[in-house]
Structures are given as structure tokens and as C-alpha cells.
Amino acid sequence: MSTQARGGGSIQAQAGGHEWEIVVGLEVHAELATRTKLFSASPNSFEGDPNTNIDPVCLGLPGTLPVLNVQAVELAIRVCLALNSEVRPSEFARKNYFYPDMPKDYQISQYDKPIGVGGFLELPSGKKVGIVRAHIEEDTGKSTHVGGTGRIDGAEYSLVDYNRAGVPLLEIVSQPDLRSAAEAREYVSELRAVLLAVGASDGKMEEGSLRVDANVSVRRRGERLGTRCEIKNMNSLRSIGRGIEYEAKRQVALLSAGESVSQETRHWNESEGRTLTLRGKEEATDYRYFPEPDLVPLRPSSEWVESIRSALPELPRFRRARLAAAVGRDASSVALFVERNQDTLAIEAVAAGADPAAVLKHLEHNLSEGTGRLTAGAFAELIAMESKGELTSNQVKATLAEMAATGADLKSVLADADYQAVSSSRLSSVLDELVAENPVEWERYREGDSRERKKLQGFFTGKIMRLTKGQADGRAVAELLRKRAQV
């Protein structure tokens, strides 16, 4: 019995000749980018020292009451609309369980009446992944277990930081429509792009503002759904791919050996590269949900929902399609620029005559911190100068940074920087002088083996750079040397 994983994540059991299919549904928790917490006025920020962004309400002190943050509701509605979900009248409920990082020992969440129901997310591949629901809930604090085993059960003591307690989350639950680890990654990355585009979340997986749990099962093609396991603790796109892949293999191995998969929650261990049992079905907590009596039902008016809909920005897949058409690439290769909100500038720069490849190159490498106040016209003009060899790549980079930061026009930036465009004729005359002054070296450069030539290319390039005060373009110098020596 052996199993193998292939590129797309499809798994085939060699024995028996059955082809296995992975079935994945994802639960994504996105922190909503509100100014304050879901039910209180503390900043929604857990930077800074532990327990500094807290207040009596988010600490659940006796006597305090939650008050719903309207901005969180608006951001949730934006996401629902972007996912084609129906925005419904919703209610909050209490999810009761004891945990030290949860100040009230219950979480205020939405249970049987979530804000968003149904809908779909269209992946770049064109596949539509169904959405079951989206609901608003509060985040917990963070525990640190010190000494001993370093886990909650064997530590010497534990510390709790409540800065994150009460931060608003939107949990988005997909249908089990995903059929491979790669597809799951594609879903998360597209959902992230949507969250960013509508301004609902910063989507930073590494900082935990986007957290993904996966329900994974396998089945032989055409058969009914297998028993699923929930995989937690996958903290990057890469670990989502690896975790799902591993879990599917594990289940296929069990089933192929005639054993069964037991329904449980499993923990992805990134360093060991495997999933481990966290708790079984029988250990599942009874959360004793009941309607939250401290809050009133949430009934967004249709006027409000419509005004949010009409202000909704264009979604990433449409933006990618427009940019792709403008620069002559395929949509999947331009996702980065849409994610960075560089697509409008790119399209305008290309329309102003700039070379699309150069536009994308600068956006990707030289403007990764943002395009600031850079205008499309100046961007296009600069690219034209660069292509004529009038500016070195370092000068272009510095000019872009300056224009992005200040919004100054191209001429004044170039004038202020006193860039001497090192023309090819000036380069040529500089080289003439050098050849005359260093005939031996020039000869060794022309006649030497490749090692020798490389060494002397460095010698000449260094001298040229010194004579041109570093303004010469490295590539142009290399080209000139090669031509002159005819090597």
C-alpha cells in the first residue's frame, strides 16, 4: 500500500486502482479592521505592551455590558455583499466554555442567525466555491504558558494578554466544495484579496489577522462524503497546503488499510509536518448556546445595506482581468499588483505609452512600499528615459521613490538630484581614455580566459564608475566593454 501526492494535490491510491478525492471546507476567521473593539471603546490593536488596550467591558468585569460596534457590522456587510451572500437580520448568542483567555468564559458570537447566508467566492480558475454563512464574533486574549511543559496543563504559571480580547472577527464558512490542497490555497488567497479590496481586514496571516481551519475528508470518486477531521493551526498559505495534503494522505492510508477515520479535531504541527489529535468527537464541548440577552437583534435596514453595496469597490477578479488585458499578461500573474492597489496606476501608465513590462517591473520591485503620489504620466516619462539609457537603474529607483513620496514632477526631481545622464558617447570617450592609460590590462581583458576577463571587467567597470561618479549604468558599461573588445 502506498499513496502519492501529485502537484495538484490529487491523491491516488496505487492499490486497488481507486482514485481518491479530497473534500475540503474552510472556516476562515478574519479580524475586521475597525478602529475599536467589537463591544467596547478600546483600540482594535494588540501591538504594544500586554494588557494596555483594555477596558472594563472587554475584560468582562462584573456589571459591564457589550455595545455593538457599527463599523464592524458595516465591514461584515461589505464582505457578505462581496461574497454574494444574503445579508439577514441576525442575533448574537453566547457560546459558553471555560478558558482563561476568554474574560467572560463565554464568547459572544452569532449562532443560528448569522449576518450572512449563502453566496459564493469565484476563484481565479473560474470555479465558484459556495459560502455557507458568515458570522460576527469576538476574539479571545492570548495565553503564554511559562515553565514546565510550556502548555496549559503542565506549565509553572500562565500569563494572559487581553489586548486581543474583544477584537471583532468575521467567520466565513465555505461549503465543502474544494477538491485539493492547491484549491484550498487558491480559495484562501482569493478570499484574502476580497477582504483587502473591500477594506474589511488587513489579511495578515502571519500576524493572525486571518486564521484558517480546514475540514478535510477523503472519498473514492463518486462515493458519499467521508468522515471529516478539522485541522487547526495552519498559519500560512504554505502550511494550509501542507496540512491538508498531509491529512488527506493520512486518511487515505487509514481507509486503504481497511481502518476508519474518526471524527476529531487535529493540530497541524508545522515543524514535524504532520497533524496530531487535539480532541476527539466525544470530548467535544457542549457550548450551551443561547441568545445573548445583553444585546438586541441586529436588523440592518435595506437602505443601509444598499448604500454599502453601492459604495463597494470593484472586486479583485474584475480588477485583475482589466489589468491583465492592459498589460497583455494572464490574470493570475497580475494578482500581486491588484493586492497592492497598483492596478489603476499600471493601467494609466501603459495608456500613457509606457512599456508594460517596465511598468510591472518597477511596481513589483521599486514601489513595493506603495506608489504614494506618483502619477501615471511621470511614471511613463521616466520609463521612456530609462529605456533610452538616459538614467541608470539606481537613478530611476531613487526618482520613483522621490516622486512617490512628494508627488513632485519628474523634471524638478531630476534637476534637484543633479543627475548626469551618462550618454553612450560620454561612456565611450571615458573608455577610450582608460584603454590608452592601461594597455596591458586591456590586452589581458581581450585575450584572457573567462576568469581573467571577468576579473578585468571588474577592473574597468570600477574605473568607469569612479570617473562617472557612479552615474553610469552598469549594464551599459558591460555592453560597451564587450562590444569594444569584440569578445
Partner 1 sequence: MRQGALTLARHVRSGEMSAVEVVEESLAQIKAKDGRISAFNAVLGERSRRRAAEIDRQVALGEDPGPLAGIPVALKDNICASGVPTTCSSRILEGWLPPYDATVVTRLQAAGAVIIGKTNMDEFAMGSSTEASATGPTRNPCDLSRVPGGSSGGSAAAVAAGMTPLALGSDTGGSIRQPAALCGVVGAKPTYGRVSRYGLVAFASSLDQIGPIAADVADAALALEVIASHDPMDSTSIPDPCESLLAAVERDVGGMRVGLITDLLGEGIDHDVTERVEAAARALEESGAEVQEVSVPSISYGLSAYYLIAPAEASSNLARYDGVRYGLRVKGENTEKMNVATRTAGFGDEVKRRIMLGTFALSVGYYDAYYKKAQKVRTLVIRDFEAAYRSCDVLLAPTSPSVAFAFGERIDDPMSMYYSDVCTIPSSLAGHPAISVPFGTGAGGLPVGVQILAPPLREADMFAAAAALERA
Which residues are at the interface with partner 1 (CB under 8 A)?
56, 59-68, 94, 96, 98, 100, 103-106, 152-154, 158, 160, 286, 288-290, 293-296
Min dist. Cβ of residue 62 to partner 1 (A): 4
If the CB atoms of residues 152 and 357 are measured against partner 1, the closer one turns out to be: 152
C-beta separation of 154 from 214 below 8 A? no
**Exposure b/e, 187-216, CB count within 10 A at least 16 = b:** bbbbbbbbbbbbebbebebeeebbbbbbbb
Report in angstroms how near the CB of residue 97 gets to partner 1 at its nearest.
Answer: 9
Q: How far is the CB of 98 from partner 1 (least distance, A)?
A: 6
The CA distance from 173 to 162, in Å, is 26
Q: Which is nearer to partner 1, 288 or 483 (CB)?
A: 288
Work out how close the CB of 140 gets to partner 1 at its nearest, in angstroms, rounded to a whole number. 12
Measured from the CB atom, the residue of 49 and 153 that comes closer to partner 1 is 153
What is the nearest approach in angstroms of partner 1 to the Cβ of residue 91?
Answer: 12
Nearer to partner 1, 165 or 234 (CB): 165
Whole-angstrom CA distances from 89 to 29, 42, 389 are 21, 27, 62
Q: How far is the CB of 151 from partner 1 (least distance, A)?
A: 10
Q: State in angstroms the smallest separation of the CB of 54 from partner 1.
A: 11
Contact 78, 71 (CB under 8 A): no
For 71, the grid coordinates are 463599523
* Gap between the Cα atoms of 141 and 163, Å rounded: 6
Question: Which of 92, 337 has the CB closer to partner 1?
Answer: 92
Closer residue to partner 1 (CB): 73 or 481: 73
Q: Which three cell numbers stand for residue 448?
A: 584572457
- CB atoms near residue 17 (< 10 Å): 7
Instruction: Write out the three cell numbers for 295.
Output: 444585546
**Which C-beta is closer to partner 1: that of 64 or that of 344?**
64
45 or 158: CB nearest partner 1? 158
Beta strands 274-280; 264-269: pairing state: antiparallel
Residue closer to partner 1, measured from CB, 5 or 68: 68
Residue 151 burial (10 A CB sphere; 0-12, 13-18, 19+): exposed
* Spatial separation of the C-alpha atoms in residues 181 and 214, rounded to whole Å: 10
- Report how far residue 46's alpha carbon sits from residue 163's, in angstroms, rounded to the nearest whole number: 5
Q: How far is the CB of 58 from partner 1 (least distance, A)?
A: 12
Least distance to partner 1 from the beta carbon of 43, Å? Answer: 18
Q: How far is the CB of 163 from partner 1 (least distance, A)?
A: 14
Residue 2: is it exposed, middle or buried by C-beta count within 10 angstroms (0-12/13-18/19+)? exposed
> Would you say 297 or 407 has its CB closer to partner 1?
297
